[in-house]
Structure 1
Amino acid sequence: MKARSSVRSLKQKPGSIVVRRRGHTFVINKRDPRWNTRQG
């Protein structure tokens, strides 16, 4: 899982879900796990 400064472009990927956990923003994509990222 990569840490990125901006996850806005990853929200448009098919299958992406934006989740907030423990003060971090995660993008979880089960369809294409290459786009799993963390912000913060």
Structure 2
Amino acid sequence: MKVRNSLRSLKNQPGAQVVRRRGRLFVVNRQNPRLKARQG
């Protein structure tokens, strides 16, 4: 999982979902599980 300032490029990938957990923004992708990130 990467920690990034901006999730814009990851959330535009096909299959990406933006999820809010514990007050943080996460991007998870079931089609391509390598593209996981959290913001900040």
Taking structure 2 as the reference length, the TM-score comes to 0.89
Counterpart in the other structure of 2:37? 37
CA deviation after TM superposition for structure 1 residue 34, in Å: 1.5
Q: Gapped runs of 5+ residues in structure 2?
A: none
**Which letter does structure 2 place at the counterpart of 1:19?**
V
Question: How many aligned residue pairs are there?
Answer: 40
Runs of 4 or more off by more than 3 Å in structure 1?
A: none
* Long gaps (5+) in structure 1: none
Please tell me the residue identity of whatever aligns with 2:6.
S
CA RMSD of aligned residues (A): 0.8
Q: Which has a greater percent of helix?
A: 1
SS at match of 1:33: coil
